[in-house]
């Protein structure tokens, strides 16, 4: 009887996943005036070596992702503090971590907030002026290996968290009850944070300083499911979009754009008012997790599926 109940629950969750994929997100059409960047002409920088010391743990039928990932860790967000050279890591299972400027083993800094364990640590950014850290916990109910269940069940237990004193590990929850918060980026004037909400296809804008501090508002509805979002240093933000492939794709393209059959939307550049100004297209077998713009207009695109970083000119 117990096995039958477990099977029924599994089938129910599978049905909810499929239904969630069929429901439209509140996507905003990409303006026809938006300029297009073709990443198919990108250079590729191969990744060799490692900054971190890691243990190899292989996945198998008897060692599911919940087991192997929790042992190995799964870094999802990365950001440097430029003055100290420290690299901060949002690891889905380990929590918030730090690696010193010389590399080596990562030190775990935060594993809980307000007495509740971090279950799905996802994005991180650093205030370069104060050194304060901001990061997301995508769900209080599901692990990263169960990420399909977050949109399928309508889970809205995500949190925006601030570590305001890295030396003392002083942590506070700035906002809770968020639906699938993923990557985040601090604005150039350090007054607000932009958070990518993956399931709802949105960018939200919580204010952390000034007269609007403590409030949150919608910045943009997106034409796809956002992963990481990064500030360009000029007031705008790049949001990487996952579209997905396969029989049942969690991330699917919400709009058919004029890119042809062999390419799709990879990322969008949003200005400070939430308007899509530029879009990046690329091969359909590429699903980026992050797009970063650096001096000179070069765009660096990362993906967990590629052994390289793609470099395109904006």
Judge whether residue 68 has pLDDT over 80: no
Residue 157, in any domain of the structure:
yes
Q: What's the pLDDT score for residue 10? A: 52
Residue 129 CB-density burial (10 A; 0-12 exposed, 13-18 middle, 19+ buried): exposed
The mean pLDDT value for 96-118 works out to 95
Which residues have a Cβ under 8 Å from the Cβ of 52 and sit 6 or more positions away? 99, 103, 104, 105, 106
Which residues have a Cβ under 8 Å from the Cβ of 243 and sit 6 or more positions away? 224, 225, 249, 251, 252, 253, 264, 265, 284, 287
Judge whether residue 32 has pLDDT over 90: no
Measured distance CA(79)–CA(77) in Å, rounded: 7
Measured distance CA(178)–CA(176) in Å, rounded: 6
Other beta carbons within 10 Å of 76: 26
Residue 26, in any domain of the structure:
no
134-155 pLDDT, tens digit per residue, is 999 999 999 998 988 999 999 9
The mean pLDDT value for 14-43 works out to 52
Measured distance CA(108)–CA(136) in Å, rounded: 16
- Distance separating the N- and C-terminal Cα atoms of the chain: 59
Q: What is the CATH number of the domain that holds 190?
A: 2.120.10.30
Output 137 or 32, whichever has higher pLDDT: 137
Give which of 145, 250, 230, 241 is closest to 183, Cα–Cα: 230
The mean pLDDT value for 232-241 works out to 92
Provide the pLDDT confidence category of residue 36 given band limits of 50, 70 and 90.
Answer: low
Provide the pLDDT confidence category of residue 48 given band limits of 50, 70 and 90.
Answer: low
Residue 272, in any domain of the structure:
yes
What is the tally of structural domains in the chain?
A: 1
Residue 112, in any domain of the structure:
yes
Q: What's the pLDDT score for residue 1? A: 47
Lowest mean pLDDT among 85-94, 122-131, 191-200, 272-281: 272-281
Residue 16, in any domain of the structure:
no
Measured distance CA(131)–CA(129) in Å, rounded: 6
The mean pLDDT value for 101-112 works out to 94
DSSP string, 46-94: E--S-SB-------BTTB-HHHHHHHH--EEEEEE-TTT--EEEEETTT
Residue 278, in any domain of the structure:
yes
Judge whether residue 173 has pLDDT over 60: yes
Q: What's the pLDDT score for residue 254? A: 47
Q: Rounded to a whole number, what is the largest CA-CA distance in the chain?
A: 64
Residue 19, in any domain of the structure:
no
Judge whether residue 55 has pLDDT over 50: no
Query: Which range of residues forms the domain containing residue 159?
Result: 32-313
Judge whether residue 120 has pLDDT over 80: yes
Residue 25, in any domain of the structure:
no
Q: What is the mean pLDDT of the chain?
A: 80
Q: What's the pLDDT score for residue 56? A: 45
183-224 pLDDT, tens digit per residue, is 999 999 999 999 999 999 999 999 999 999 999 999 999 988
The mean pLDDT value for 114-118 works out to 95
Q: What's the pLDDT score for residue 29? A: 54
């Amino acid at each position: 009887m117990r096995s039958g109940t477990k099977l029924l629950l599994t089938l129910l969750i599978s049905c909810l996943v499929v239904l969630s994929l069929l429901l439209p997100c509140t996507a905003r059409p990409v303006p026809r005036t938006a300029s297009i960047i073709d990443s198919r002409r990108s250079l590729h920088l191969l990744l060799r070596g490692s900054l971190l010391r890691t243990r190899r743990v292989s996945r198998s039928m008897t060692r599911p992702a919940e087991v192997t990932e929790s042992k190995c860790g799964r870094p999802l967000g990365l950001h440097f503090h430029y003055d100290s050279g420290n690299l901060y890591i949002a690891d889905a299972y380990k929590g918030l971590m730090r690696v010193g400027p010389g590399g080596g083993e990562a030190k775990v800094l935060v594993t809980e907030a307000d007495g509740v364990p971090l279950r799905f640590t996802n994005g991180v950014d650093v205030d370069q002026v104060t050194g304060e850290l901001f990061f997301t916990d995508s769900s209080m109910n599901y692990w990263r290996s169960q990420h399909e269940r977050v949109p399928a069940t309508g889970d809205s237990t995500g949190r925006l968290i601030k570590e305001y004193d890295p030396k003392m590990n002083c942590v506070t929850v700035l906002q809770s009850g968020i639906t699938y918060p993923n990557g985040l980026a601090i604005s150039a004037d350090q007054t607000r944070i932009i958070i990518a909400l993956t399931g709802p296809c949105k960018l939200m804008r919580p204010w952390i300083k000034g007269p609007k501090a403590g409030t949150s508002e919608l910045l943009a509805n997106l034409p796809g499911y956002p992963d990481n979002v990064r500030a360009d240093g000029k007031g705008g933000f790049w949001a990487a979009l996952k579209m997905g492939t396969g029989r049942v794709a969690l991330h699917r393209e919400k709009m058919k754009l004029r890119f042809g059959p062999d390419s799709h939307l990879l990322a969008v550049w949003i200005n400070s008012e939430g308007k899509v100004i530029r879009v990046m297209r690329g091969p359909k077998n590429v699903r980026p997790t992050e797009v970063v713009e650096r001096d000179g207009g070069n765009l660096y695109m990362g993906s967990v599926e590629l052994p390289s970083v793609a470099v395109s000119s904006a």
